[in-house]
A = this chain, B = another copy of it.
Amino acid sequence: MVRGRPREEGIDDAVRVAVRALLTETGYQRCTIDAVAARAGVGKAAVYRRWRSKAELVFAAVIHPVELEPPEDTGSLLGDVAAVLTVIESSLDGVELRQALPSLLADVRADPALEARFGEVFLGRERGYLVLMLERAVARGELSRRPDPALVHAILLGPVLTWLHLFTETPPSGGLAASLASPLHAAVAALGA
């Protein structure tokens, strides 16, 4: 299909739409950078300028972009934890991602340079925002010290990732993020007590 080429600022959106469509229609293996460029109607060079690998392109299109919104300040650590869990759940949910994630992680694992870049770009960005959340809780007097952000990252991300991508059952009544907010707030509070 021939389409008009989107302007520079429209490329990211066009790529995102193309990745999601290709994951649904053909799966991760056949969602190549060339196929994405063709589907989005943009030049391959434009795609390679933005993304060094297919895994990165798919991650940014489906899970979250490199630039994240700072976490919402709800006024309390419990509220902030609930908001972060909702963001994590919506980032990791979806049948296309459920199909694609193991292959994406296998690609990342097979390439140490890519793995290092992933840790820096995506995980590092996520963790930076958790530090903001934790420092707000310390400033409010809800935590007496800032816990290890890596542990907090594992404690908030891990249960959502495990439920959505390892378990086969439907989320608990009331929703996954809402069900995890109170226990995982207790975990973070215990770390920073």
Residues of A near any B CB (own CB < 8 A): 98-99, 102-103, 105-106, 108-110, 115-116, 119, 123, 148, 150-151, 153-155, 157-163, 165-169, 172, 179-180, 182-191
Contacts and interface: CB of A to CB of B under 8 A. Distances in A.
A116 B120 CA distance: 35
Q: How many copies does the complex hold?
A: 2
A155 B148 contact: no
A183 B179 contact: no
A161 B102 CA distance: 13
A154 B182 contact: no
Contacts of A182: 190-191
Contacts of A157: 158, 162, 166
Contacts of A108: 102
A119 B103 CA distance: 19
A128 to B, nearest CB: 15
Contact of A105 (B102, B169, B172): B102
A158 B151 contact: no
Contacts of A99: 109-110
Contact of A154 (B110, B116, B163): B163
6 contacts: A102-B106, A105-B105, A155-B159, A157-B158, A158-B160, A158-B162
